Amino acid sequence: MARYGDLDYGWLTKHGFGLGVALFALGALGAIAGPALFGPLPGWGKTLLADSEIAGIIIAFLSVVLFGIVLPLTE
């Protein structure tokens, strides 16, 4: 039996990276298109979009490193 159960590392890596890219794209497009479509964004909106970009980068990087490299090597 595998150490971490039946984890599908390929699926987790691809979908984790996709989630990170989607969060980053949502934050970046919202920061660009939000003021053009709706006028000036409130402070909480700018913070939410900036945090979404940062979280997207971190999630994309960590999912590749963790599920694509580290966990398969520890089996």
Residue 8 identity (one-letter amino acid): D
Helix (H, G, I), strand (E, B) or coil at 40: coil
What's the mean pLDDT in 20-33?
97
Average pLDDT in the 45-49 region? Answer: 96
Distance in angstroms (rounded) separating the CA atoms of residues 9 and 71: 8
Determine the Cα–Cα distance for residues 33 and 51; give it in Å rounded to an integer: 16
Mean per-residue pLDDT, 8-27: 97
Q: What is the pTM of this model?
A: 0.88
First to last CA, the chain: 10
